[in-house]
Amino acid sequence: MRSRTLGKTGPVVSELALGTWGLSGDAYGPVDEIEQERVLRRALDMGFTLIDTADAYGAGRMESRIGKAIEGRHDVFVVTKGGIDRTSSPPRRRFDAQYLRGAVERSLRRLGRERIDVYLLHNPTENVLLGEIAVPTLVDLKKEGKIGQWGVSAGDAAVGRAALQAGAEVIELAYNLMHTAALNHLAGELIVCGAGLLARSTLAHGLLAGRWAKDQEFPAGDHRAERWTKAELERRIEHLTRFRFLVHGDVRTPVSAAVRFVLSNPVVSSAVLGPRNVAQLEDVVREVGVGPLYLREVALSHLPRISESAGIET
């Protein structure tokens, strides 16, 4: 497992990170507790040293599972997020000082640690970042030793830019073969600021694995059932054919191409994967290759033209 630095002031971490939204059972349907523990332990055995989670995943249960799995492991770093209050129905975003301080303390207890390595605001708006409460609260928590680095899990480039302007040390953004615009718009600022970049949605919620038929349907409880209309999904699956040229030689599958594409970007600190069982975890690592390799320059040079022809914003 190769490593990268999480921003200019961050730790050295594995360039593949274990994401736990799907593993929590919130995103794609229930996951057995025993399987959750097996995935966590297998990822650690395989050399993952970065785990991405949130206090909202499984209503805090995912953090507790992670805490048990990494007990005594000082070489493993945890990114967690806060700002979604699930005590109300429906859940609501809260970024006031009292709530954030309480959320950090609860995450610390569940993780069994004295300090959270990276703490991210969970999908805030630009106004939250421009205000005088959330960011100063995180800065104070860092001074108090409660968190190591702070940042934002951003929904778009505008929020990411506001976070960088506010001094964020880590940004998490969706970035994959079909979703490049946000990171491309922020790349220069990320380099200047020296912030770390976590790339989520590496496989676009499974789309880039290239295994879906045009009439693909998702069961109740699977967020993908509401993410795309039937027409949108058909169009995206059709777009996949334009990326087939990436699969050749040591790049043997669409999964391998998708993950290597993300890792080919030097701005990326770590690519977040979201396996729901041990088989998925082992498959994706195997398909990427031993010690992740990257796409060749000649392949990367063709992508902007192909994306433009497919109507994908870059």
Residue 188 is assigned to a structural domain of this protein = yes
The pTM for the full model equals: 0.94
CATH number at residue 183: 3.20.20.100
Residue 172 is assigned to a structural domain of this protein = yes
AA letter at 67: G
Residue 238 is assigned to a structural domain of this protein = no
Q: Which domain holds residue 98?
A: 3-212+249-296
What is residue 76's predicted lDDT score, i.e. its pLDDT?
97
Q: Report cis status (omega within 30 of 0) of the bond before 90.
A: yes
- CA 103 to chain CA centroid, Å, is 20
| 182 has a pLDDT exceeding 90 | yes
- Mean pLDDT over the full length of the chain: 93
Residue 237 is assigned to a structural domain of this protein = no
Residue 220 is assigned to a structural domain of this protein = no
| 221 has a pLDDT exceeding 90 | no
| 310 has a pLDDT exceeding 80 | no
Residue 12 is assigned to a structural domain of this protein = yes
What is residue 314's predicted lDDT score, i.e. its pLDDT?
66
pLDDT digits (tens, 9 = 90+) for 107-134: 999 999 999 999 999 999 999 999 999 9
The pLDDT of 233-239, averaged and rounded, is 91
Residue 313 is assigned to a structural domain of this protein = no
Check if the beta carbon of residue 137 is closer than 8 Å to that of residue 147: no
Distance CA 162, CA 189 (A): 11
| 259 has a pLDDT exceeding 60 | yes
Q: Work out the pLDDT band at 291, boundaries 50, 70, 90.
A: low
pLDDT digits (tens, 9 = 90+) for 39-67: 999 999 999 999 999 999 999 999 999 99
Which residue, chain included where needed, has tokens 């309480």? Answer: 102
What is residue 287's predicted lDDT score, i.e. its pLDDT?
84
Residue 112 buriedness (CB in 10 A; 0-12 / 13-18 / 19+):
middle
Residue 310 is assigned to a structural domain of this protein = no
What is residue 312's predicted lDDT score, i.e. its pLDDT?
77
| 89 has a pLDDT exceeding 90 | no
What is residue 292's predicted lDDT score, i.e. its pLDDT?
58
AA letter at 278: V
What is residue 220's predicted lDDT score, i.e. its pLDDT?
82
Query: Could you tell me if residue 10 is left (phi over 0), alpha (psi between -120 and 50 degrees) or otherwise beta?
Result: beta
Select from 314, 288, 291 the least CA-distant residue to 303. Answer: 314
Per the structure, how many domains does the chain have? 1
